[in-house]
Each structure stands twice: as structure tokens, then as C-alpha cells.
Amino acid sequence: MSGIVEGKVALVTGAGSGIGRASALTFAREGARVIVSDLDVEGGAETLDAIRKAGGEASFIQADVSRENDVANLIQQTVATFDRLDCAHNNAGLSGSPSALHEMTVDEWQRVLAVNLTGVFLCLKHEIPKMLVQGGGAIVNTSSGAGVLGTPGLAHYCASKHAVLGLTKTAALENAQTGVRVNAVCPGAVDTPMLRAAMAGSQEIEKMVLRSQPTGRFGTPEEIAEAAVWLCSERSSFVTGESLLVDGGSVAR
């Protein structure tokens, strides 16, 4: 049986860890040739290795998504490597240091916005023209449950993830008749290095977060990846401008 993105070329940012790594592996398993991109070369190499060991085809390109030159080069190199760009998962992100909004420094605010918001804007800006030339494509941006709910202590993160949904809807509408679909996935609490770092190794905090989860457990990176790859596949051909919560019911309460 062929995969749901058989023969496609997929780009995943933040693919050196967590959700991005699972997404890159899932794209490869489902038949795509994958560009693994991350700022972190070591993490990227581990993902590449895992894809190749599983029999997939992939290549690594380092890029800092907050820098336009890096993103422009990433898209050029993707097309130079695999001839086209069909699917993109704009996933790289940071959680930022927590603090009350009125105590947040402008530097910390800008650090988070540069990656989580400007990074997604730059990826869309450089991906869409390549897809337009080909006559279509599908993009999924990683937002968050914090993209739809207020998040005390993480004003920068929360604002960036809300804004990703605005970018997603606008890009989807601008491209509704071009064959380029743009959607977002909104993960809940997912067991990745980012979540582990936020819980700072404290069993107390972990128990508290787990108690707040309707399912009583964290999501897995693979559960988010399944949704992202589906949104980039032709199985979701009439879905655009959508924000898909994959959060074990957290926002449903």
C-alpha cells in the first residue's frame, strides 16, 4: 500500500527534536522525500539517521527560521535537492522564559516572537511562491493550545501562537484558488524536550500538569505528526484555513 504523501517532497522545520522529528519520520514513512531542517545540527543529524535507518530518503539543511537569508536559502536548497516542494511543516519554536507580562523584558518578548511568529511568516513567504509555480502544495504551521487560550506566565508564547493562527487563515484565504492549502495544528501538552524543560524535572509540576489533562496523560509527538501529515496530504483536500486541536480535549473543557 502506498503512503498518503507518496512521491511528495516535504520540508519540516524544528525537525531535530520532539514534534518536528516525529513529523519528519511520519512524512518519510508515508512516502515523502524529506528535508529535515533545524538550527541544531546534532539533532538534525539524529533525525536524518532515524529516517534513513527506517528506509526513508531525507537530507538535512541547517537554518535559523528567524533569519530571512537562512529561510530563503533553505527553500532554494530544498528545491535544488529534491526538485520541488509539496508539503511544509513550519514547526520550529521556543517556549520562552516564563514571567508575568508586566515583568517580561522586551528582549525576551522579541526573542520568542522572532522564532515563533516571524519564523512562520518567513517560511510561508518563501514556500508559497515555489508552490504557486508548481500549481499547488500544502502547508501546516504549528500553533498550540496557547494559540486559542490565554496562558498566564507566557504572554510572548501565547501571543505568538495566536498570531500564527491569523497568519494561517490569511495565507489560506489568499491562496484559496491557487491550489496551496494552509492549515495549523494546535498541540496540547506533548511529551517533548520542550515540555520536559518547562517542567524543570519537578515531579510536583508534572503531576499538576497531568491532573489538568482530561485524558490524564501527555500527547506523544507521533500523535501530532499524524495530524500534520494528514493536513499536508490529499486526504484533506477541502481543508484550508483550519486550526486543528490535537490536545486530548484540553480546550474542550
Nearest Cα to 140, choosing from 32, 69, 244, 63?
244
Q: Other C-beta atoms within 10 Å of 39: how many?
A: 18
Q: Which among 26-34, 80-88, 129-137, 188-196 is the span making contact with ligand NAD, rule CB under 6 A?
A: 188-196
The Cα–Cα gap between 138 and 179 comes to 8
Q: Which of residues 63-122 bind ligand NAD (CB under 6 A)?
A: 63-66, 91-94, 115, 119
Q: What Å distances lie between residue 157 and 99, 101, 127, CA to CA? A: 11, 11, 24
In which element (H, E) is residue 186 found? Answer: strand 180-187
**5, 18, 29, 158: which one binds ligand NAD (CB under 6 A):** 18
Min dist CB 93 to ligand NAD, Å, is 2
Candidates 26, 78, 175, 192; binder of ligand NAD (CB under 6 A) is 192
Q: How many Cβ atoms are within 10 Å of 233's Cβ, its own excluded?
A: 22
DSSP SS3 for 104: coil
Out of 27, 60, 82, 157, which one is annotated catalytic? 157
157 in catalytic set: yes
Find the binder of ligand NAD among 10, 30, 38, 86 (CB under 6 A).
38
Chain residues in the site for ligand NAD (CB under 6 A): 13-14, 16-20, 38-40, 43, 63-66, 91-94, 115, 119, 142, 144, 187, 189-190, 192-195
